[in-house]
Amino acid sequence: MIALAAATHPDDIEFMMAGTLLRLKDAGCEIHLWNLANGCCGSATLSREEAAAVRWEEAQASAKLAGGTAQPPLFDDLGVFYDAPSVARAAAVIRQVQPDIILTQSPQDYMEDHQNTTRLVVTGAFTRAMKNFVTQPDVATYDKPVALYHALPHGLNDGLRQPVAPHFFIDIGPVLARKRAMLACHASQKEWLGVTQGMDAYLDEMKRMSREVGRMSGKYEFAEGWRRHSHLGFGLEDFDPISDLLHPSSFKLHP
C-alpha cells in the first residue's frame, strides 16, 4: 500500500503525523511526504527564496531518513487557497502518487494555511477517478479506494481554543526517536519558532505534545491522535487500512 502524508509547512508532518507514518512504513507501506507550502516565510533572517530552498533541503532530508519520497511544494506560505486552480494542482499530485492512505491535517486548526491544505487534499482525493476533472498538469485518473485520516491540530486545540478529541490513538513510543530525528532535520525552525512562537526547544515541544496525546489515550506514553474522514466518495465503509495494517493493540477508541 501507498501512504501519503500531506501537510502545509515543512515540519508539520514531523510534529503531528510522522510517528504514524513511520509505523505504516514498518508495516510495509511505501510512504510519501508532501508539504504543500514551501516555507518561504519561515525565517527571520533569510530571503523568501533562500528560506524556501533551505526548507526544501530539510524536507528532503527528513523524507530520506524516514525511507520515503518527498513531493515538491506547490505554493508559497500564506498562499494556500481553496480555489479551482489550486485544487487542480493538488489533485495532480494525488493522481501521480496514487495513495491508498492519506494522512492530513485537522479541518479545524489555528491557521488558514492548514485548514485550506486539508480542503485541497480532500477534494483532490475525491476527484481521483473523475476523467472530466482536468488536473494541472493533466494526469490520468486512478480508480481505487483511498482512506483519509486527520491528525490533531498543532497545540491540540482548534482556532477557538477548544480541544479536538481524536477517534483513535496510535502508539508512537517505538518510533519516537526516529520521529525526533526527522523533526531535527528542520534545523532552520529552531530559530524561527523561538522568535515567532516561543518554542525555544521545538524538539522538546514535539515530545511534550506526543506525551500529552499519550495521556489522553489512557494507555500509551507517547501517541498521535487521529480522526477518520467519511468514507463517502472515497471507498467502502469498512475500508480502514490503518486498522488493518497496524496491530489492534495500537488503537484505543476515544469514548
Q: How far apart are CA 160 and CA 144, in angstroms?
A: 37
Q: Is residue 17, in this structure, part of any structural domain at all? A: yes
Which of left, alpha, beta for 12 (phi over 0: left; psi -120 to 50: alpha)?
alpha
Q: Containing domain of residue 52, as a range?
A: 2-250
Cα–Cα distances (Å) from 98 to 95, 120, 218, 253, in that order, read 5, 16, 35, 28
User: Do the domain assignments include residue 255?
Assistant: no
Angle among Cα 189, 195, 198 to the nearest 5 degrees reads 90
Residue 85 lies in a domain: yes
In a domain, 169, yes or no: yes
Per the domain annotation, does 24 fall within a domain?
yes
- Structure confidence at residue 246 (pLDDT): 85
Q: Which CATH number goes with the domain that contains 126?
A: 3.40.50.10320
Q: Please report which confidence band the pLDDT of residue 197 belongs to, taking 50, 70 and 90 as the band edges.
A: low
Number of separate domains in the chain = 1
Q: Side chain identity at 96, as an amino acid letter?
A: Q
Whole-structure pTM value: 0.93
Handedness of CA 137, 141, 144, 148 (dihedral sign): positive
Least confident of 63-72, 137-146, 186-195: 186-195
Instruction: Kindly report, residue by residue over 14-44, the tens digit of the pLDDT.
Output: 999 999 999 999 999 999 999 999 999 888 7
Domain assignment present for 20:
yes
What digits encode the pLDDT tens for the residues 130-153? 999 999 999 999 999 999 999 999
H or E stretch covering 151? strand 147-151
Domain contains 33: yes
Asked if residue 253 has pLDDT above 60, the reply is no
Report whether the peptide linkage leading into residue 137 is cis, meaning its omega lies within 30 degrees of zero.
Answer: yes
Residue 75 binned pLDDT confidence (cut-offs 50, 70, 90): very high
Q: Looking at the domain assignment, is residue 219 inside a domain? A: yes
